[in-house]
Amino acid sequence: MFKYAITRTPGKDFASGITTVDFGKPNYQLILAQHENYKNILKNLGLQIINLEPLDAFPDSYFVEDTAIVMPELAIITNPGADSRKGEVPTIRAELSKHKEIEEIIAPGTVDGGDVFFADKRFFVGISKRTNEEGARQLSHIVKKYGYTSSLITVPSGLHLKCFVNYVGRGYILTTEEFANHEALQDYKIIVLAKGEEYASNTLLVNNHLIMPEGFPKTMEALKVLEMPIITINNSECRKMDGALTCMSLRF
């Protein structure tokens, strides 16, 4: 069970972060309200929220997930793949050091937390625009010391692995058709997202509850097989900035 979530309030400059999508102009008051709701949902699931102040000049810094991978045994500080995001790391390192032993991914290795998830003792690492093979190699080496295996999954387009593939608990992976037959996933039960609902792949498992973005009825129906309560959330503004639900917290 998770006890804590690190989050960060979006800064006034959040709309100048990196994005590849065009869903319209992001609204600051609205993202603040949606971020507040996100934190409240986590709080209601029993997590203590450690909310950090906005980080000036780092408009993507509320996507805290990309800066670290937090495991029961330790936290691995990443070296984010986008240059404009590397400066987000020191404040996250300072916070996580209060809770966990720390290891680090170092250059030339790059890793974004959005490319990484683990289920029990297995890690899955996306090789993407942000996470390179050297970063994945360092990560695999670190987690192996704690008894974890790692599988690499190439992400040919899009941002991160977790835009397409996520572990949703009880042996189930939620993924797009593109990854459904990937050999690394074949020990799992696979739920394939319906066409047009790919964004719902980024569904967040927290303390036996599933938190999913609003507006994906087929996915919601399919997830009922897990017999877990499902909470939906409107995260329209973070989506405009290429973000999704897992990105906005580090849970441990």
In the annotation, is 238 catalytic?
no
Of the candidate residues 96, 175, 242, 249, the single one contacting ligand CIR (CB under 6 A): 242
- Nearest residue (beta carbon) to ligand CIR: 114
Q: How far is the CB of 64 from ligand CIR (least distance, A)?
A: 9
In the annotation, is 163 catalytic?
no
| Tokens read off for 162 | 């977790």
> What SS3 state is found at 28?
helix
Contact between 57 and ligand CIR by CB under 6 A: the answer reads no
Separation of alpha carbons 26 and 237, rounded Å: 5
Contact between 17 and ligand CIR by CB under 6 A: the answer reads yes
Contact between 19 and ligand CIR by CB under 6 A: the answer reads yes
> What SS3 state is found at 123?
strand
Q: In this structure, what DSSP letter does residue 73 have?
A: S
| φ, ψ (nearest 5 deg) of residue 202 | -80, 75
Of 44-52, 70-78, 87-95, 237-245, which part binds ligand CIR (CB under 6 A)? Answer: 237-245
Of the candidate residues 45, 47, 65, 79, the single one contacting ligand CIR (CB under 6 A): 65
Residue type, 2: F
| Tokens read off for 99 | 């809770």
Separation of alpha carbons 145 and 62, rounded Å: 30
Contact between 160 and ligand CIR by CB under 6 A: the answer reads yes
> 147 vs 156, which CB is nearer to ligand CIR?
156
Q: How far is the CB of 238 from ligand CIR (least distance, A)?
A: 8
CA distances from 62 to 28, 56, 102 (A): 13, 11, 21
Of the candidate residues 66, 88, 95, 103, the single one contacting ligand CIR (CB under 6 A): 66
Site for ligand CIR in 105-134 (CB under 6 A): 113-114
Q: How far is the CB of 247 from ligand CIR (least distance, A)?
A: 3
Q: Residue by residue, what is the 3-state secondary structure of 154-215?
A: ECCCCCCHHHCEEEEECCEEEECHHHHCCHHHCCCEEEECCCCCHHHHCCEEECCEEEEECC
Furthest CA-CA distance within the chain: 45
Of the candidate residues 50, 82, 220, 230, the single one contacting ligand CIR (CB under 6 A): 82
Separation of alpha carbons 141 and 101, rounded Å: 16
> 18 vs 30, which CB is nearer to ligand CIR?
18
How many residues make up the chain in this entry?
A: 252
Catalytic residue (one of 35, 163, 238, 247): 247
Site for ligand CIR in 176-215 (CB under 6 A): none
- Among all residues, which ones are annotated catalytic? 160, 247
Provide the binding-site residues for ligand CIR, judged by CB under 6 A. 17-19, 60, 63, 65-66, 82, 85, 113-114, 159-160, 162, 241-244, 247
